[in-house]
Structure formats: structure tokens, C-alpha cells
Structure 1
Amino acid sequence: MFANRKCPICGSPVKGRSDKRFCSTKCKSINQYENRGKTEGFYLKVDRQLRINRKLLKKYNRSGYTTIRKSELIGEGFDPKFFTHYWKNKKGDVYLFVYEYGFLGKKANDKEKFVLVMWQDYMEG
């Protein structure tokens, strides 16, 4: 009755329940892995980089406010293009945040640096 069904991965006949789509668990797994790569690849890349950024900001900002050379942070895998939100102070400086850890790019003595800060309650408003 269902002999015409073919596995979309390998083309083998599919036997069993009428709603079964794959001939084996191996083909089902291959399909899930391939589809995951297409649909979640971008999400996984962004999420991975956000976790790396947060870890590095936390590592170098134990006091709540510090300055570090930009090259040092980037050398460890930090990517300033990945952040969760921003905050603009009264001077017009825009701090980029990765969750509760923020950074601001500055140039001092011809060296590019990041000012690292922690999210504060007054930043809400």
C-alpha cells in the first residue's frame, strides 16, 4: 500500500507507519542536522560570539570600571560588532553592552582602547 514512498535522503523505500518519512534513524538524523545548520546557523554564530564577548568583558572588568587596549581584547576573540543593547550618556558617548557588561571605544595617546563599565540602575531612564 505504501510501497511508493521513498526516503528523501537516500532514496530507499520507506517501510512502516503511514506518516514515516525516512527509511532509518540515520537518514532522519542527517536531515535534522542539515536543516539545523540552515535554520539555526546564524543564531548559533551570534549566540556563541555574545557568550565570548560577555566572558571577556567580565574577565577584564572586575572593578566595574576599567580601561584596556582594544588590541588585547580583540586578540582574545572579542568582536565589538556583537552586542545586545546600548546606552547613550549626557555627553553623547554611546556605550555598547553585552548584557550587563559595557564598553566604549576611546583613543588615548594614539592607542585605541575600550573603557569597560557595568550596567547601573541610573542607565534605565
Structure 2
Amino acid sequence: MMQKECLECKEKIVGRIDKKFCSDYCRNAYNNRLNKDSNNLVRNTNNRLRKNYRILQELNPDKKSKTTKSKLLSLGFDFDLITNIYTTQKGTIYYFVYDQGYLPLENEYYALVKRID
């Protein structure tokens, strides 16, 4: 029988045949290294998306609300960063950051919505 070695530290693995790591420490270290954002652009973009998401979530606790452009901007919201766009059959365009969305209204107001799948 062939001895398997830990994907992280290369030590021999004892235990189940499908085991890939010798310990939780090695499993975590391996996955942290694998999932580390490879460069600053990706890391910074993800951080700004998370900030946008937190702002929308904070302003929209009940899944539907209204706010102003100045309120969003004062909290640091970046209108250039969204994850997707949803267009209704009538042609209304919602902008989303994950499941939190907004719809531009008149007079710099925004309807905030949460998509429920």
C-alpha cells in the first residue's frame, strides 16, 4: 500500500484513505495559501465590494427601503462597483452587490431591495 503525504507539510498521513492533510493546522494553512488574493487589485476590489455590501445591508435591514445618493456617498459607497445588473421585463434596471440592490429614482433617491432566492 502506498503511503500518502500531507499536501502542506509532506509528512506521512495516517488514517482514512481519502485524507489529504495530517492536521487541521496543515489543512487551514494550505487553504489560506490557496485562497489568498493573488494581487492588490483583486484584494482591494473585493474589500470595496464588501464595503458597498455592508453599506446597503445597513441601510436596508427590512429588505426594502429608500435612501438618498448623498447618504450613500457620505458612507463611502462606490457606485462604480457592483456584482450584477438585473433588468425587469418592463426595462427597470436594478444594480446589485451580491443580493443587495438599488434602483435609481427621481431627485437622487434610491430604492434599496434585497433579492430573495
TM interval, short-chain normalised: 0.5 to 0.7
Amino acid at match of 1:95: Y
Which AA in structure 2 matches 1:44?
Answer: R
- For residues 32-88 of structure 1, give each alpha carbon's deviation from its aligned partner in whole angstroms, at most 9, with x where no partner exists: xxxxxxx61211221111010000000010111111011111111001110111111
Residues 1:100 and 2:99 aligned together: yes
Instruction: Determine whether 1:40 maps to 2:50.
Output: no
Structure 1 runs (4+) greater than 3 angstroms displaced? none
- How many aligned residue pairs are there? 81
Q: CA RMSD in A?
A: 1.6
* TM-score (normalised: structure 2): 0.64
Distance apart, 1:120 and its partner CA: 2.7
The answer for unaligned runs of 5 or more in structure 1 is 1-38
Tell me which structure has the larger Cα radius of gyration.
1
Question: Quick one: distance in 2 between partners of 1:93 and 1:82?
Answer: 19
Aligned mates of 1:46, 1:113 — CA distance in 2: 26
The C-alpha deviation readout for 1:94-115, integer Å capped at 9, x for no partner, is 11111110011111xxx20111
Identity %: 30
Structure-1-length-normalised TM-score: 0.60
In 2, the alpha carbon distance for the partners of 1:74 and 1:91 equals 28
